[in-house]
Amino acid sequence: MTRSNFLTGLVNDLITADARGENQPLPLGSRGAVETALVKMLVDPDFLHDHIRYLQKQLGNRYHYREPLDEPTSEAVLQCSLVVLDDAALAHFLLNPIALAALADEIEECQPPAWAEALWEDGLRLLREQGRTIPPLDDRAVRAAMVRAVGSLSRSLAEQLKAVHVSFHFQVADRLLIAPREMCHNCRLPFDIVTDLRTQGLTSEMFGRPGVYNLSGEAIKARAAEKSRPKPSLFTPVYGQECSSLLSMPFSADGRVVGLVKVENKQGLPVGWLGRSDRPFTAEEEELLRRSLDASSAVLAAAYRWVKDQYPNPDVCISREFDGEAA
């Protein structure tokens, strides 16, 4: 924190003029710099205290201005910043330690919108000076909270879906993300949902490890063909109990969750489906789908990052990236 020569010189000039009973205006073109200095004082207590100490050093106890701003002016400054003060008022304000300290406290307590940018800049400066950075959002605690939150939403959605009895034709999305148990802890829908991969001849042992799978890749089609299993019924759960330990989420090439959500109860029995359809959705179905997908997108992004961090080279990953590159 350094006092600028400009501020020191200006305060000295104003004090001298004031002692002579002159109402000296701010020097031409200096208003911007004065406002900048005052804003810094009002959001940075160290800078303010330094300024008050300087005033005390120069004036002792002989303050000319020591009353707080009157209520309408104080309110106007809080709402609109310092632009509401004319040059003379701004100069007096600069020499008034009581008004400065009282207004600084008001700003601190109320965090008024007009001061938000100054407070934000002060925050950035603090972080920089203290050698700190903005921690990434996707730390474990936040991820866990997101998953819990979607779990709560999902429970209520599941109840609604039961009532709606939605049933649509099955269409698998382009890709599938599978993450381990901790990503879907306490989460019922949409992550305890299992896409019925057996309709494409895919089996759970092919997806036993976390990774990002390209369902349209040649490799997976070839493996599916090798298995040549009988095609099961559309609504048969694939993973059974095993499923609850996996987060499975179909999504499209652009990363958005699409497709199909199958709602299961704890026994693994399907209670409803939601997904692409060969007929238009009703308004109610659309709203349910929108809410489900909105809630899923952020979790999917976090889960995807997590999988990439934890398993940079998953050995069963058919496609490592969203671009669907075959392994």
Partner 1 sequence: MWPQDFADWYRWAYPSVYRAVYRSMRRQGESQDSAADLAEEAAQEAARRAAEQIGTPGYFDTREHLRNWMIIVARNYSCDRWKRQREGRLPEGHDQPQRLSAREDRSHPVWDCFVELCEEDRRILDLYYWPDQEELQGRPTDEKIGQILFGRSRATRAALGQRTRRLRLEALARLRECLLRRGIDPGSWNL
Given candidates 4, 152, 186, 265, which one binds partner 1 under the rule CB under 8 A?
Answer: 152
Distances, alpha carbon 206 to alpha carbons 198, 224, 315, in Å: 11, 9, 11
By the rule CB under 8 A, 192 interacts with partner 1: no
Minimum distance from residue 130 beta carbon to partner 1 (Å): 5
Instruction: Decide if residue 186 touches partner 1 (CB under 8 A).
Output: no
Measure the CA–CA gap between 257 and 267, rounded to whole angstroms.
25
Any bridge partners for residue 319, and if so which? 326
Q: How far apart are CA 74 and CA 51, in angstroms?
A: 20
| Stretch of residues binding partner 1 (CB under 8 A), selected from 247-255, 278-286, 290-298, 319-327 | 290-298
193 binds partner 1 (CB under 8 A): no
Phi–psi pair at 144, nearest 5 degrees: -60, -40
Residue 307: how many CB atoms within 10 A of its CB?
Answer: 22
| DSSP-derived secondary structure letter, 172 | -
Q: Is 268 in the site for partner 1 (CB under 8 A)?
A: no
Binding to partner 1 in span 36-65, by CB under 8 A: 45, 49, 52-53, 56, 61
3-class secondary-structure state, position 226: helix
Nearest to 252 by CA among 207, 297, 204: 297
Whole-angstrom Cα distance, residue 40 to residue 126? 12
Partners of 274 in beta bridges: 261
Position among 137, 219, 269, 326 found at the interface with partner 1 (CB under 8 A): 137
CA 17 to chain CA mean position, Å: 52
As a whole number of angstroms, the distance between CA 75 and CA 30 comes to 25
Residues 253 and 214: their CA atoms lie apart, in Å, by 9
Which of 10, 14, 81, 154 forms a contact with partner 1 (CB under 8 A)? 154
Residue 66 or 227 having the CB closest to partner 1: 66
**Peptide bond preceding 45 in cis form (omega within 30 of 0):** no
Cβ-based nearer residue to partner 1, 22 or 159: 159
Task: Return the residue of 19, 80, 124, 269 that touches partner 1, per CB under 8 A.
Answer: 124
Q: Which position among 19, 88, 142, 269 is part of the footprint of partner 1 (CB under 8 A)?
A: 142
Per-residue binding string, partner 1, 75-114, x by CB under 8 A, is: ----------------------xxxxxx--xx-xx-x-x-
Q: Is 112 exposed, middle or buried (0-12, 13-18, 19+ CB in 10 A)?
A: middle
Neighbours of 153 (CB within 10 A): 19
For partner 1, the closer of residues 227 and 256 by Cβ is: 256
Q: Is 218 in the site for partner 1 (CB under 8 A)?
A: no
Q: Which stretch binds partner 1 (CB under 8 A): 26-34, 131-139, 199-207, 241-249?
A: 131-139
Cβ 297 to partner 1 shortest distance, Å: 6
At 180, list the tokens.
Answer: 């381990």
Considering only residues 19, 83, 88, 126, which one is a binding residue for partner 1 as defined by CB under 8 A? Answer: 126
Which residue, 59 or 234, is less far from partner 1 as judged by CB?
Answer: 59
- Of the ranges 149-157, 211-219, 227-235, 243-251, which one interacts with partner 1 (CB under 8 A)? 149-157
Of 251, 271, 280, nearest in space to 175 by CA: 251
CB nearer to partner 1: give 142 or 326: 142
Interface contacts to partner 1, rule CB under 8 A = 45, 49, 52-53, 56, 61, 66, 68, 71, 97-102, 105-106, 108-109, 111, 113, 116, 119-124, 126-127, 130, 132, 134-135, 137, 139, 141-143, 145-146, 148-154, 290-291, 294-295, 297-299, 301
